[in-house]
A = this chain, B = another copy of it.
Amino acid sequence: MTAMDVILGLLHARPFTGYEIKHAFQAQFSYFFDASFGTIYPTLGKMEQLGYITKESIPQDNRPVKHVYSLTDKGREQFKNYLDSPLEAEAFRSDFLVRLVFGEHQKPDIVIRMIEDNIQAVRAKLSDLEEKKRLFCDGMSQTRQIVLNMGIETSKARLRVLEEGLSMLKANVAGDRRSGSERV
């Protein structure tokens, strides 16, 4: 699965500009896919050359020409090819979890701070997803609802584990400080 496949999928709904595609990635897919402009614009160029999409150029005042891309039949077929291709393994890469695994080599205060920050970030993400559910759930396909629920429920699970772990760590640090075995 490359950015091209996901763009092809997006364009099934309606025509998009590169700028809007980036926005859609961040708003809808960010927790399981993302791509930068440095990927999106050249990919759109390639897709046009391959005949998967057509470009409509709309002049604007004081702005670069806007390019709106629409899916062609050939693009629709290419998307089917993707759907028929073997499923790729998931890749999750977390600097946060790596640092947590090696937490014993870090000052407790810093680890605690890092976890607290992450809790805040996950809470924000969760509110965001919950609002999305509240607002748009009705108009969504069943499978999209599953994806949204998965974001919500895994965030909640993560939050529970982090909060429990945090209070245990804090209790430990407090105990260490009382018994004078504080780490430098």
Q: A residues within 8 Å of B by Cβ?
A: 1, 5-6, 9, 12, 28-29, 31-34, 79, 83, 87-106, 111, 114-115, 141-147, 149-150, 153-154, 156-158, 160-162, 164-165, 168-169, 172
Contact = CB atoms under 8 A, between A and B. Distances in A.
B161 A97 contact: no
19 contacts: A1-B98, A5-B98, A9-B102, A12-B102, A87-B95, A89-B95, A90-B93, A91-B91, A92-B93, A100-B147, A101-B143, A101-B144, A111-B143, A142-B165, A142-B172, A146-B162, A149-B164, A153-B161, A157-B157
A162 B161 CA distance: 20
A114 B31 CA distance: 20
Contacts of A147: 97, 100-101
Nearest to A104: B141
A114 B90 CA distance: 14
B33 A93 contact: yes
Identical copies of this chain, number: 2
A103 B141 contact: yes
Nearest to A141: B104
A146 B161 contact: yes
A148 B101 CA distance: 9
A158 B154 contact: yes
B6 A98 contact: yes
B90 A33 contact: no
